[in-house]
Amino acid sequence: MDRIVVQGGRPLSGTIPIAGAKNACLPLMPATLLTEEPLTLTNVPRLSDIVTMGRLLESLGVEVSPMRDGKVMALSSHALTGHLADYEIVRQMRASNLVLGPLLARAGHAVVSLPGGCAIGARPMDIHVTALEAMGAKIELRDGYLHAAAPGGLKGAEIELRFPSVGATENTLMAAALAKGTTVIRNAAREPEIRDLADCLIKMGADIEGAGTPEIVISGVDRLHGATHAVLPDRIELGTYMLAPAIAGGSVELIGGRLDLLGAFCEKLDAAEIDVVPTENGLRVTRRNGRVAAVDVVTEVFPGFPTDLQAQMMALMCTADGVSVLEERIFENRFMHAPELVRMGAQIEVHGGVATVTGVERLKGAPVMATDLRASVSLILAGLAAEGETVVHRVYHLDRGYERVEEKLGACGAQIERVSE
Ligand code: UD1
């Protein structure tokens, strides 16, 4: 199993290109199930989660071409042969559940394993199920699998989500694109990835208005056709690398970075006294002299502070001047990075969904364990500023969501390497 070794204490300087968004690409890939014609995605990130989604689609009969130039993926669902998302794949990646809506719409039935508990909380699927049932699907839970059928086809409906779940909004949007009549999704998720999926579906012939707002109106069409779509830049990768010079010192330009993708995250960086300036090609982030200021953070749905940047922000707050309170409201149990940061000398107390971080002058390198995707990168960020060597174990979590992390940070002067065992 690979590990990442970081020698801390070097300020960063250089440029980092931002890849296509994992969380945009994962719903865009199953959108291919909605049409017999080819769907071509460009700016596809090279990540193990994308490979996993490709394997799942192949098991349903989708032809997935190898990535050309590393970034172009062609998908063709002209002959679907399966309708089962097996537990073996779903348990590796919850986003596998994004085949449910499009399979139901295209094939009239789908069997999708429930994801089960994962490291960052229970993550049930009730919101997906309620929305699809409102559209006429019959869904039963048997043997750990959701068995869904819509023999007469899905019908448009007025749906109010009890919480603006990203995945449930995406599943409903894809199902409604081919349903009979008009669907209104209220309290829809507003994350930029929803808009990106809708933009692609519109290119495929769907009739969608309001994506990116809390109310999306979809008028179902009889069929969708092929399209080519460029995946949105990854706002979580962007935010993560914006925090690298904030933590280690120095100045880094994020190529492809956009302020409109960041919502409240940028306001928090400003409050922490980190400079963020738009450039011709993206964003430049510079740490001012002295320690960063402590800021409080509450994770919320977009445009609030993203839960997927909470661990990385905690790494920044570990050496801030003062006390910061980080409250996690999207997932229960998403502070597993805290005890690892404590092993590096951080002062953190966790009570339920609230972590209180008292900034220390300096962290100290230590062997630490990655527990999930974002936790693992937060430990690398902490290692950049720590005195001595930090060894991050179990980096397979990292490879799910960050491509070439050691190359990207290494190009900015970080002393970081991957060691294979
Ligand atoms: C997506 C992102 C993930 C991010 C999350 C929140 C992808 C592939 N993943 O995950 O990186 O952390 O949004 O921004 O895009 N919930 C229910 N019932 C449901 C669905 C969700 O209770 O039917 C709860 C979940 O347990 C969780 C919260 O709602 O506590 C948010 O989940 P959701 O927005 O659905 O996240 P995902 O789409 O799984």
Could you say which of 230, 249, 266 is where a domain stops? 230
Mean pLDDT of all residues in 254-263? 96
Note whether 347 and 199 are same-domain residues.
Answer: no
Q: What is the CATH number of the domain that holds 79?
A: 3.65.10.10
Range of the domain at 70: 22-230
Note whether 201 and 248 are same-domain residues.
Answer: no
Taking all residues of the chain, what is their mean pLDDT, rounded to a whole number?
95
Ligand 1 pocket by C-beta < 6 Å: which residues? 23, 26, 94-95, 121-128, 163, 165-168, 193, 307-308, 330-331
Output the CA 358–ligand 1 centroid distance in Å.
29
Note whether 132 and 210 are same-domain residues.
Answer: yes
What is the number of structural domains in the chain?
2
Reported as a single tens digit per residue, the pLDDT across 168-227 is: 999 999 999 999 999 999 999 999 999 999 999 999 999 999 999 999 999 999 999 999
Note whether 78 and 208 are same-domain residues.
Answer: yes
Which one of 118, 200, 266, 412 is the catalytic residue? 118
Work out the pLDDT band at 119, boundaries 50, 70, 90.
low
Work out the pLDDT band at 333, boundaries 50, 70, 90.
confident
Could you say which of 196, 230, 264 is where a domain stops? 230
Nearest C-alpha to atom 2 of ligand 1 is from which residue? 23
Note whether 251 and 308 are same-domain residues.
Answer: yes
Note whether 155 and 274 are same-domain residues.
Answer: no
Note whether 197 and 324 are same-domain residues.
Answer: no
Reported as a single tens digit per residue, the pLDDT across 129-161 is: 999 999 999 999 998 899 999 988 999 999 999
Note whether 109 and 205 are same-domain residues.
Answer: yes
Output the CA 122–ligand 1 centroid distance in Å.
10
Note whether 248 and 308 are same-domain residues.
Answer: yes
Could you say which of 198, 230, 262 is where a domain stops? 230
Ligand 1 atom nearest to CA at 170: 38
Note whether 185 and 320 are same-domain residues.
Answer: no
Output the CA 215–ligand 1 centroid distance in Å.
18
Query: Residue 118's pLDDT is what?
Result: 54
β 216-219/207-209 pair status: antiparallel
Whether the predicted pLDDT of 121 surpasses 60? no
Note whether 9 and 71 are same-domain residues.
Answer: no
Mean pLDDT of all residues in 305-318? 98
Question: Which amino acid, residue 284?
Answer: R
How far apart (Å, rounded) are the C-alpha atoms in residues 157 and 279?
Answer: 44
Question: pLDDT exceeding 90 applies to what percent of the chain?
Answer: 88
Whether the predicted pLDDT of 256 surpasses 60? yes
Mean pLDDT of all residues in 317-334? 95
230 φ, ψ (degrees, to nearest 5): -95, 130
Ligand 1 atom nearest to CA at 26: 8
Ligand 1 atom nearest to CA at 124: 18
Nearest C-alpha to atom 11 of ligand 1 is from which residue? 308
318 is catalytic: no
Whether the predicted pLDDT of 124 surpasses 90? no
Whether the predicted pLDDT of 122 surpasses 80? no
Note whether 268 and 215 are same-domain residues.
Answer: no
